[in-house]
Amino acid sequence: MEKIKAFLKSDRFAEIFRFGITGGVSFLVDYGILFALTEFFGVNYLVSSGISFTVSVIVNYFMCILWVFKRVKQNDTKSVVLFVGSSVVGLFINQVLMWFFVEKIHIYYMVAKIIATIIVMIWNYVAKRKAVVG
């Protein structure tokens, strides 16, 4: 019980909490753009998903370096490349999952996006923390 209390008071727990909030904001950006492009502009869900994911990554990046990770490395080229590289992998995972859930399992694309986001979120935390903290 003491270990749990200590963890809840730790910097790591606070960081994970901030990352969750940031993820929520990024998700709303991602989900909103996906819906708007697909429903209002008739863009294919995979194209919309790629665009919305990319915009949300930009929002996520700035929130991570400004708020989530307290020990952010100096904004050097290597950190940015790692962050962008991890985001490209996240985009790939997202797109494959969206295609699989919609085309093969026949899940509505907005529900598929929620499932894909949950899976990609795990990748994002590990990879982005490594990119900005080391």
Distance CA 82, CA 48 (A): 24
Q: Return the pLDDT at 131.
A: 66
Q: What is the pLDDT of residues 72-130, one digit of tens each?
A: 655 677 777 877 888 889 999 999 999 999 999 999 999 999 999 999 988 877 776 77
Q: Are 15 and 70 in contact (CB under 8 A)?
A: yes
The set of residues, in sequence order, having a beta carbon less than 8 Å from that of 52 and lying 6+ positions away, is 29, 30, 31, 32, 33, 34, 37
Q: Are 26 and 63 in contact (CB under 8 A)?
A: yes
Distance CA 113, CA 97 (A): 8
Q: What is the pTM of this model?
A: 0.81
